[in-house]
Amino acid sequence: MKTLLLSGLALAMLTVGASAQTVRLGTEGAYEPWNFMDANGQVAGLDIDVGNELCQRAGLTCEWVINDWDTIIPNLLAGNYDAILAGMSITEERQQSIDFTADYSPPDVSRYMVLTGTTIDFDSLQNVRIGVQSNTIQAGYAGDNLAQGNTIVSFEQAPQALADLSAGSIDVILADESYVTEIVANSSGGFELVGPEVEVGGGVGAGLRKSDTELKAKLDEALAAAKADGTIDSLIAKWFPQREGPFYLN
């Protein structure tokens, strides 16, 4: 009888494990500290920690898929993965084609970053080479507001823009404050933030297909719990020590 009970229990455990939903999470892997490939070739960053935390809480088996930023939404819609966690701001334009969970990082302003000592007149911005990552909220803002009299240079990945700024091929980068602040803090004085804050975009959430309402509900429930117990605030502080919290824990 004992053997039969143990066998039944083992079978039940195997059945539960086998029935766990496998969810594929898409990320860029090139936007440190949001998401990047670490020294061991493993994907890491805030997006990754948040995604893994939500999967654990929701009882999901999650797999990470690396995808270029420019095609990250089309490949979600094509079914190549089930959700995007890639430092993606929630915007009305993106919500026309995909849905989002609640935000797991609050709205972030955008900032200009230059080589230390660079002088730019933001009162009459002219003849400036402005670097942005393509298909970002900063690229949209620059195209709409800064293109006249300036040169907007788009890059497929943020590190490419940083390399060109270091080489003097562009004059300034416009990007998320959370991203450039960490670069400045770790640059030993090589870069600095200049000019006004630019308010564009909303908080960062996980992107999903509009039809995946059940998955959205599971992730939102897990996210609400992770906010309430301080886990999300702790993860933000881990990857963005320059940001001042708390963000979700009152």
pLDDT, tens digit, for every residue of 158-183? 999 999 999 999 999 999 999 999 99
Tell me, what's the pLDDT at 12? 39
pLDDT, tens digit, for every residue of 77-125? 999 999 999 999 999 999 999 999 999 999 989 999 999 999 999 999 9
Give the H or E element holding residue 144: helix 137-145
pLDDT, tens digit, for every residue of 18-49? 457 999 999 999 999 999 999 999 999 999 99
| Cα 116 to Cα 129: distance, rounded to the nearest angstrom | 16
| Nearest Cα residue to 199 out of 151, 137, 250 | 137
Q: How many CB atoms lie within 10 A of CB 96?
A: 8
| Cα 245 to Cα 142: distance, rounded to the nearest angstrom | 29
pLDDT, tens digit, for every residue of 208-246? 999 999 999 999 999 999 999 999 999 999 999 989 889
Tell me, what's the pLDDT at 201? 85
Residue ranges with strand state E in 126-210: 129-133, 151-155, 172-176, 191-198, 204-208
Tell me, what's the pLDDT at 19? 53
| Cα 147 to Cα 132: distance, rounded to the nearest angstrom | 12
Q: What domains can be seen in the chain, in order of their start residue?
A: 16-107+202-239 (3.40.190.10), 110-198 (3.40.190.10)
159 close to 28: Cβ distance less than 8 angstroms:
no
pTM of the model: 0.87
Q: Annotate 124-138 with three-state secondary structure.
A: HCCCCEEEEECCCHH
Tell me, what amino acid is at 111? R
- The mean predicted confidence, pLDDT, of the chain is 92
| Nearest Cα residue to 157 out of 36, 31, 46, 23 | 31
Tokens at 84, concatenated = 């995007």
pLDDT, tens digit, for every residue of 116-164? 999 999 999 999 999 999 999 999 999 999 999 999 999 999 999 999 9
Tokens at 16, concatenated = 């539960």
Tell me, what's the pLDDT at 250? 75
